[in-house]
Chains A and B, each alone.
Chain A
Amino acid sequence: MKRTYTDLHLCANLNNLEQASRLIDKASQLGYSTVAVPMPKNVDVYMQSLRTVCRDLAVDFVTRVDLRPRNPDELLRDLRKCRRRFEIIAVLCDSKPVARQAAKDRRVDLLDFPQIDFRRRFFDLAEAELASQSLACLEIDAGRLLTLEGADRIRLLSSLRREVATAVDFHVPVIVSSGVSDPLLVRKPMELAALSSLFGPTGKLALDAVSTNPASIVTRNREKLSPKFVAPGIKLVRE
């Protein structure tokens, strides 16, 4: 079966619909059939306009929210508010308590860590073990690999290599996304897979990080958000 590719992190400027449209168009031209754009958690006005843009470009649009809680309690509050409204929930883990809470909560889809502050990348063995028992995946933005240079890129690659090895050991799915706002920085899925070979996954594992792994999150969450969903494995067939 032919692979379909998903980019779960296109950082479109929501105040400039033309720029957002160009970014999504570029992703579509480069072979992505599904894209997700992070949206503010309290505002729904952009959702419909982006949906229209994606429909015109024949791209499947996925709603995503990036949560940046200061403590675990705030994370739990945000999850209660957002889980039923967004298809993808990513948590940017700025502190260890937040990272641990996000890893063990089954409502969190993606774990993100600061790209430049290497002391605040908390994806270690304990984090991976917690994530392996929930549904959270490790998300890696390839955009930073393109913009950083020299010592910063070396340190980022070194951190990513360690984290991806840990994730693979604990069977935590790894997702590689663009994480860019400039259309010139969007890369083809095969190019993202090749870039991910710099920090670990190669071959099928690298391709899964841009196709199967993100697509399975979207499918799972859409099923859960559908009105016919009752519980995992149980759905309403007829009223």
Chain B
Amino acid sequence: MKRLLKDVRRRYLALHVDSVESFSSGELMSAVWNAVMKLYGEYGASQAGLRLISYEPQERFGIVRVGHRNVDMVRASLASITSIESRPATVHVLRVSGTIKALKKKTDL
């Protein structure tokens, strides 16, 4: 029988926050959502399928999940971040992978 719904394909992005300050996961995600909404609006943000999987404030390392069609959109939004909570910061994408396991393996975690 033909399947009516396609499987949702996702990508996991390993992030590194480049800053002298440290931020909570809430502050990071607030900055990410703001960046997506500034560049693509609420409609675009709703399509991104963005979700924080994990974040380690001490190491400033996090993993977010996005829809596989929206990787470039989220990457552009992350690149447009210049501050988090009015403190200078940059978010770099270290790796992109289809599974968390592979992502952790690729980033040597």
Closest approach, in angstroms, between the C-beta of A19 and any C-beta of chain B?
15
Of the residues B19, B39, B78, B92, contact of A198 by C-beta under 8 Å: B39
Cβ of B79 within 8 Å of any chain A Cβ, yes or no, is yes
Q: State whether B79 touches A195 (Cβ < 8 A).
A: yes
| Bound-state Cα–Cα, A184 to B92, Å | 11
Report if A191-B18 is in contact (Cβ < 8 Å); known contacts: A197-B72, A202-B72. Answer: no
Q: Are B72 and A191 in contact (CB under 8 A)?
A: no
Number of A-B residue pairs, CB cutoff 8 Å, is 44
A30–B76 Cα distance when bound, in Å, is: 16
Complex-state Cα separation, A197 to B93, whole angstroms: 16
Q: Is the CB of B88 within 8 A of A197?
A: no
Flag whether A165 is at the interface (Cβ < 8 A): no
Q: Report yes or no: A184 in contact with B88, Cβ–Cβ below 8 A.
A: yes
| CB contact between A191 and one of B76, B82, B89 (< 8 Å): that residue | B76
Residues of B within 8 A of A202 (CB): 72
Listed A/B pairs (24) with beta-carbon separation below 8 Å: A30-B92, A145-B80, A146-B79, A146-B80, A146-B82, A149-B38, A184-B19, A184-B82, A184-B89, A185-B82, A187-B90, A188-B79, A188-B92, A190-B93, A191-B75, A191-B76, A191-B78, A191-B79, A191-B93, A195-B79, A195-B80, A197-B76, A198-B39, A198-B76
4 closest A-B pairs by beta carbon, nearest first, are A191-B79, A194-B75, A194-B76, A194-B72
Binding site for A on B (CB under 8 A): 18-19, 38-39, 72-73, 75-76, 78-80, 82, 88-90, 92-93
